[in-house]
Amino acid sequence: MNTEPALDPDRVGKYVITAWGYKQGEAVTLMVHLGHRLGLYQALDGAGPVTAADLAESTGLHERWLLEWLRSQAAAQLMLSEDGETFLLEPEAAAVLARSDSPAFAAGAFAVLRTPEVVDGIADAFRTGLGLDYDGLGDQSAEHIEGILGPMTQALLVPTIVPALEGLVEKLTAGARVIDVGCGGGMAIDLLAQKFPASTFAGYDPSEGAIALATERLKDHTNVELHLAGGEDLPPTGDVDLIITFDCIHDMPRPDLTMAAIRQAIGDDGTWIIKDIKSSPRWVDNLKNPMLAMMYATSVGSCLQSAMSAPDAVGLGTMGFNPKMAKQMTAEAGFSRFTMHDFDDPTNLYYEVRP
């Protein structure tokens, strides 16, 4: 006899809509990727109301495909259309989708799509316990991460963050020694090296793809050196004026070893600035984040992969380096001063750490 309770059709409907809503998001992701890849958002930025024929003329692309793409964007509420024939990319939408120098720019996050091989590797992590390192996440993983994280670094690092840290502008202007741990494609170094040419810069990253990207970007700087190495490999010189770890502590298999190496490398009056995800050790507090599902999914597909890519990994993951954890781990590494900053970044907190 079947004793299973009858299903509530309204609740079934709720889960159907929720599940297919995520499938719709997957499909729209491809459309945003194409808009970014083909330069469609840039072509629409400031163009006013346009038809598919107008966009075809300005881009040289096929009108029929453009019409379908434009309708997909209007249906996704990323642009406006009353009749499905004429479309408008509003300036506010352009700030998110077309303008790479805007702190709100998001289209770069859609630049890279996962290959079946990478998805297979992510699935295998559930069986073996070992995640993929960043190079294992795909040839373009460094570009992908920069597309997500770069706009806010570009908007805040030089005009806001550096001036907020006591004495740092003066040191960098006079000539300071700077190390960027987890430098990725070298954006932070590039911004600082252009602003403060008297300083010297070193970038450390264990990803071959990231160092290749940084090498190309920084090839014209004579005051920069790059190392294919992790933060735990920093030389214990005790004289570094500024150390940066942006968006990477929670990705490291052994962040404790990197922190210990940073303590040995930094000068007695040096500054360590950490950028990491806003999070709480309490689940109920994290539920206030409207993008929490994306954060944990990103962890499974990227951050925790790297953070679990060694047998003795700590395994923090995207949401694991909350302020309580940050203060505890930096103190255990030998740092005595810890200040938390909120620089009007909706996603990240910034920690100023000193010996």
- What is the token pair recorded at 135? 């190079």
Residues 271 and 126 in one domain: yes
CB-CB contact of 87 with 80 (8 Å): yes
Q: Which of 110, 126, 157 is the last residue of a domain?
A: 110
- pLDDT of res. 1: 55
- What is the token pair recorded at 116? 């079946």
Residues 70 and 120 in one domain: no
pLDDT digits (tens, 9 = 90+) for 282-300: 999 999 999 898 899 889 8
Classify each residue of 210-240 as buried b or exposed e, where b means 16 or more C-beta atoms within 10 Å of its C-beta: bbebbeebbeebebbebbeebbbebeeeeeb
Residues 318 and 221 in one domain: yes
Three-class SS string for 175-231?
A: CCEEEEECCCCCHHHHHHHHHCCCCEEEEEECCHHHHHHHHHHCCCCCCEEEEECCH
Q: How would you classify the pairing of strands 348-354 and 337-341?
A: antiparallel
Residues 296 and 168 in one domain: yes
- pLDDT of res. 2: 61
CB-CB contact of 242 with 323 (8 Å): no
pTM of the model: 0.87
Residues 226 and 315 in one domain: yes
Q: Which of 76, 110, 144 is the last residue of a domain?
A: 110
Query: Residue 130: inside a domain, yes or no?
Result: yes
Residues 152 and 188 in one domain: yes
Provide the CATH number for the domain around residue 347.
3.40.50.150
d(CA 191, CA 246): 14
Residues 60 and 84 in one domain: yes
- What is the token pair recorded at 14? 């709720």
Query: Residue 180: inside a domain, yes or no?
Result: yes
- pLDDT of res. 4: 76
Residues 185 and 240 in one domain: yes
- What is the token pair recorded at 17? 């809509």
Query: Residue 4: inside a domain, yes or no?
Result: no
Domain that holds residue 85: 9-110
**Degrees, nearest 5: CA angle 113-119-123:** 155
Provide the CATH number for the domain around residue 79.
1.10.10.10
d(CA 199, CA 235): 18
Query: Residue 265: inside a domain, yes or no?
Result: yes
Residues 57 and 87 in one domain: yes
Residues 220 and 277 in one domain: yes
- Those residues of the chain that have pLDDT short of 70 are 1-2
Dihedral angle computed from the Cα positions of residues 90, 91, 97 and 100, in that order, rounded to the nearest 10 degrees: 170
pLDDT digits (tens, 9 = 90+) for 177-232: 999 999 999 999 999 999 999 999 999 999 999 999 999 999 999 999 999 999 99
Q: How many structural domains comprise the chain?
A: 2
- pLDDT of res. 73: 94
Q: What percent of the chain has pLDDT over 70?
A: 99
d(CA 214, CA 255): 22
d(CA 6, CA 54): 55
| Cβ within 8 Å of residue 60, ≥6 positions away | none
Q: Which of 110, 141, 161 is the last residue of a domain?
A: 110
- pLDDT of res. 129: 93
